[in-house]
Structure 1
Amino acid sequence: MLERAIIIEYEHDMAADDLLHDTTGNNDVKLRAKLDNTAAFFYWLQVVARWDKSYAHNEKLLDYYQQTITTENESVLNAIRAILRQQTSPYGLLAQLYSGNAQSHDAQKIAKISKPLRSRFEFLWNENQALLAQWQHYINQFSCHNVEYTLRRLAIFLGLSEDNVRDVKIFLLPPSLRPLGAAGHTIRNTDFILLRPPRDLGKATKQGTMVTIFHEYTHLLAHASQSFADSAKASYQTNIAPRKIRPPAGYNWRAVYNELFAYTVASRTIGGLLGLELLGDTHPSFDELEASFNKLRAEGHPSPDQYINWASLHMVPILQQYLQDKRLIDRELFDAVIGLTIDEEVY
């Protein structure tokens, strides 16, 4: 089980346990899950356009999403793929479309040429309405009381104001037919989370979905922090660039630093800083995970996500000490663990 847990971090369905779900309503921060047809359509569109070959690509999701696509649609999808691949900031363009605010010429062009595909999307959207409505109700009733204090401490640690810990929109998206867990995404300079929830609403999947949401919330905080960017860059220039070390497959080094930090805060595999609040005592201990990871390495090369989670496991006590000492983020947070994100023989 532990080997499986560390293998499929964001595709993981944990053993059932009670969710720490405070319903007092005494907190200020609220999660606002939305069933937004526009956001879901353009998310679906970019998946079926098959433009992204990074670690974010999901073959099972593509298979499900493209079931209504015909050869007649390929010319439009080819055009959309070409537009996205020529962008210096493709996710920035997509953010315009998700939010219904297509300002750039290319965003407006995609919105225009994709109109004939709306009918292809509607079947999938309607098929998932009941499921997404259930998740919307659950997420919107969730109290952030147990985690809000830690989030505010993290904001200060990142050189931000506590006001950066605020309500967040969550656009709910149709998941693949057999997702093993929730999958989330954020985009720099936005105020929303994209979330594909599981098809099961059991206790364990609810628990794991909230971990995913706060993992993505951590990304939003990090994206807003110039101190985070400066510290990660300084660590990269000290530890990675001089040795010309290649990033893990499917990643660039900026993404590695971002995921390293977000997993440290919230991870279904290692628990993270918020593990106790969100998972209780269900996540494995350090010794258990260390044994599992060593077994994985003995059997073959672990995946990039496994290495990043492994490094994050070591960063958790470092981050806890920073917060205890009221120390702000700096390069040293990363220096001791960044080498663990890749094969140690390479590093």
Structure 2
Amino acid sequence: MANVDIRIRQVEPLATPRQVVSLLPVDEKTAESIRRSRQTVNDIIQGRDQRLLAIIGPCSLHDPDAALEYAQKLKKLASEIEDEMFVVMRTYFEKPRTVGGWKGLILDPKMDGSYDIGGGILAARSLLLDIVKLGLPVGCEVLDPIIPQYIDELMSWSSIGARTTESQIHRNLASGLSVAVGFKNSTSGDLNNAINAIKSALQPASFIGMDGEGASAIFRTTGNDCCHLILRGGDQSPNYYEDDVENARLFMQKEGVNPAIIIDCSHANSRKHYERQKRVLRSLIDQVSWGEKAIRGFMLESNLEQGCQKIPEDLSTLKYGVSVTDACIGWDETERIVHHACDLLRKARREGGVIQPL
């Protein structure tokens, strides 16, 4: 008996990316819409477009029906604020876990520990297609390095989480992704790992991956010049205040990278109190209004309904439109604070504030 796969219980076949794409193809009209939204995101990150990138949506997606209803509402909001903000829906399907817990729609779509990964990939791609066909760009966190082969062509933005920013695999992957990539600062609040990741992803890289036919392949990248820093706070304190942003900007400039910063209104910046996200948004809008050019956007965790819920044994008792991971603000609050933020930006421009007119 060979001394291999000693702890592997079972190996199951998985559809190749090419097979999944052929089942759920992107039409040319939608593909062109995605190309335009990617360019807009890149322009904002590079400072060519002075609007803010607004990455808004649930902490994670578990119910495609509720997610699509949310997307329809967000699309309407996006059209109302497009003069000041470019909206990308947060569509997270993979959840990094410190120890255990539900790992997201792709890995466990039935939320019962069955890990129907093939079904999860189909569900995620189908949902993304429905959303982008509305004309609403989507952004995902990249966790498993194989998953982008199944959904990469649909994304307009992506992120690398605080726990994986230091990973060389993810830095190499970011250097070859087709979209702008945000690296979060470490959970401790340290910026070094994220800024080193930006510098690393800017360079060409070579790594082993899986191609569209499901075969092992060597990928050689050009490097990604649209990587940026996401400030998400740290164990000891938030890092969205004026001094924090200034220090991050100066650090990035010293290291020779584009000082492009996205501020996460949730996580440690809100001290994990979802209702405090509005405080973070208000602060960053004030900084932008007074001329802070490094802030290129923000992230809000928002859902149809506020709060969160535990996953029950009887899934029929799940509350509709409520997060099963981090707590989110509800839709009414989302509309209110985003509209208010845009009104403040418009007022600053109208009254000759420090920010430059579009």
What TM-score, normalized by structure 2, do the two folds share?
Answer: 0.23
User: More helix by proportion, 1 or 2?
Assistant: 1
User: More strand by proportion, 1 or 2?
Assistant: 2
